[in-house]
Amino acid sequence: MRPAARALPILASVALSLCGRALAAETTVRIGACLSLTGAAAVYGAQQKAGILAAVDEVNRSGTLPGVRLEAIIEDDASTKEQGIAVFQRLIGRDRVSAIIGPTLSNTATAADPLAQAARVPVVAVSNTAPQGITDIGDYIWRVSLTEGQVIPGALKRAQAKLGFRTATVLYGNDDAFTQAGYNVMKGTLDSMGVKILATQTFAKPDRDYNAQLTALIGQKPDILVVSALVENAAGIVAQARQLGWRGPILGGNGFNSSALIKNAGPAAEDVLVGTSWNRVSPDPANQAFLKLMASRGFEPDQFCAQAYTGLLVIAEAMKLTGKTGRDDVKAGLARVTGLLTPLGRFSFLPSRDGEHEPALQQVKDGKFQIAQ
C-alpha cells in the first residue's frame, strides 16, 4: 500500500477516508444487523457478528466519525424468512436504525429486504450471493458480498488451469435461493468452458445422507465433482464422497467458505477447492491489520467475518463522505464509496450497487484454507 493510504488505528484507520466535513453533534447512531445466530446458517452468523462488533469498536475508537458513536443492534433471524421479516420490522420501526446489515441468507433477504426498501432504509448485504433478486429489490439495497456469478467462473477457470479437467458431475441444493443460484452459475460456466457435465443430482437442506446421489455421480467417473451447498450440507457431502472412495477434486462455491467445513469434514476436506471473496493470506496492510485485530479479540475469522467487517466500514465511510448519519444520507454516501481499503481488498460499488473487488481460489491444505497455487 502506498504511504498516502495510511491513517487511523488498526483497520478503521486504513479503511476509512479522511475527507468529508466533520459530523457535528455528539450522538449515538444505531446500525442494525439481522444475522443467522441459530438455525441452519448459524455458523455464518457467528462469524458475521464478531466482524460487526469488531468494526464498530474500531470506528468508535478511531474517531473517524467525530461526535458520533456507532451502536450495533444485532438480532437473530433464526435462518428463516419469517423471523427475518420480524427482525427487520423491529430494526426499522422500534430501533430506528440508520442502516441494516444482513440478513445472512439470500432466501431471507428476498423476503425481508422489501420492507427496508419501502421504508427507505439502506441495507448492506454481506453474504447474499444469489446473482439476481437482491439488489434488484430497489435502490436502498446494496451488497458487499460478491455474487456467485463473480466468484465461481474465476474459480472454475483457475481450477481448470491447475487440474486440466474436461468432464464434471454436479450436486446442488434445490430448495435454497443461494444454492440454486450457485448451480446455475456453475452449469453456465462449465458449459462455456467446454466441460462436459456427465450427470447432475440434487438434495434438500434437511438431508444428511447423500450416498445415493454421490454414488451415481462418482459412477460416471468425472474429472471433478462440483457442489453448490451451504456448509452444513457441504461437510457431509465431502466426507461421504471420500468414504465412497472419491479421491478426485471437489470444488465448491461461497457456501464452503467456513472453517466449519474443515472442522466437520475432518481429513476428508483436504484438497477441496473453494471460490472465495477473501484472500486470507493477502499481504495487503488492511487485511493484515484485520487479522491482527481479530486475533487480539481471540477470534479466528473466515470470509463471512471479513465481509461483515467490511459492511460496517462501508456504512461508516458513507457517513464520513456525506457528513451526516440519516438513512437517506447513508444511501447517498454509499453511492460515493470507491477504492475503500478493506480486508477484501480495494472495495467499490458497481452501478448495480453490487460490490466489486478481486476474488480468489483457495484450497484446503494441512487442515487450513490456503490460496491455490
d(CA 282, CA 91): 35
pLDDT score for 324: 96
User: Does residue 18 carry a pLDDT above 70?
Assistant: no
Strand duo 196-203 + 167-173: pairing: parallel
User: Does residue 4 carry a pLDDT above 70?
Assistant: no
**How much is the average pLDDT of 5-30?**
53
**How much is the average pLDDT of 275-279?**
87
Nearest to 14 by CA among 365, 358, 293: 293
pLDDT score for 24: 45
Q: Given pLDDT bands bounded at 50, 70 and 90, which one contains residue 23?
A: very low
Domains and CATH numbers, the chain: 3-146+281-356 (3.40.50.2300), 149-276 (3.40.50.2300)
Q: Quick one: what percent of the chain has pLDDT higher than 70?
A: 93
pLDDT score for 11: 52
Mean pLDDT, the chain, whole residue set: 91
d(CA 122, CA 293): 27
Lowest mean pLDDT among 11-15, 39-43, 162-166: 11-15
The region that residue 199 occupies, defined by phi over 0 for left and psi between -120 and 50 for alpha, beta otherwise, is beta
pLDDT score for 372: 82
From the CA atom positions of the chain, what is the Rg in Å? 20
> Residues 372, 362: contact at Cβ < 8 Å?
yes
User: Does residue 17 carry a pLDDT above 50?
Assistant: no
Strand duo 250-252 + 273-276: pairing: parallel
> Residues 76, 36: contact at Cβ < 8 Å?
yes
User: Does residue 25 carry a pLDDT above 90?
Assistant: no
Strand duo 360-365 + 368-371: pairing: antiparallel
Query: How many other CB atoms are found less than 10 A from the CB of residue 258?
Result: 26
d(CA 264, CA 232): 8
Reported pTM: 0.81
Residue/partner pairs of 209-218 with CB below 8 Å, 24 or more apart: 209/240, 210/171, 210/236, 210/237, 210/240, 210/241, 211/240, 211/244, 213/171, 214/171, 214/240, 214/241, 214/244, 214/246, 215/244, 217/169, 217/170, 217/171, 218/169, 218/244, 218/245, 218/246
Q: Is the peptide bond before 9 cis (omega within 30 degrees of 0)?
A: no
- DSSP bridge partners of 71: 30
Three-state DSSP string of the chain: CCHHHCCCCHHHHHHCCCCCCCCCCCEEEEEEEEECCCCCCHHHHHHHHHHHHHHHHHHHHHCCCCCEEEEEEEEECCCCHHHHHHHHHHHHHHCCCCEEECCCCHHHHHHHHHHHHHHCCCEEECCCCCCCCCHHHCCCEEECCCCHHHHHHHHHHHHHHHHCCCEEEEEEECCCHHHHHHHHHHHHHHHHHCCEEEEEEEECCCCCCCHHHHHHHHCCCCCEEEEECCHHHHHHHHHHHHHCCCCCCEEECHHHCCHHHHHHHHHHHCCCEEEECCCCCCCCHHHHHHHHHHHHCCCCCCHHHHHHHHHHHHHHHHHHHHCCCCHHHHHHHHCCCCCEEECCEEEEECCCCEEECCCEEEEEECCEEEECC
Q: Quick one: what percent of the chain has pLDDT higher than 90?
A: 80
Summarised one tens digit per residue, pLDDT across range 344-361 is 999 999 999 999 998 889
Residue linked to cell 493510504: 5
User: Does residue 22 carry a pLDDT above 60?
Assistant: no
Residue type, 251: L
**How much is the average pLDDT of 64-88?**
97
d(CA 252, CA 228): 6
pLDDT score for 360: 85
> Which three three-digit cell numbers place residue 119?
421504508
User: Does residue 234 carry a pLDDT above 90?
Assistant: yes
Summarised one tens digit per residue, pLDDT across range 98-152 is 999 999 999 999 999 999 999 999 999 999 988 778 999 999 999 999 988 888 9
Q: Given pLDDT bands bounded at 50, 70 and 90, which one contains residue 89?
A: very high
Summarised one tens digit per residue, pLDDT across range 240-267 is 999 999 999 999 988 898 888 999 999 9
Summarised one tens digit per residue, pLDDT across range 289-327 is 999 999 999 999 999 999 999 999 999 999 999 999 999
> Residues 21, 323: contact at Cβ < 8 Å?
yes
Lowest mean pLDDT among 197-206, 262-271, 343-352, 363-372: 363-372
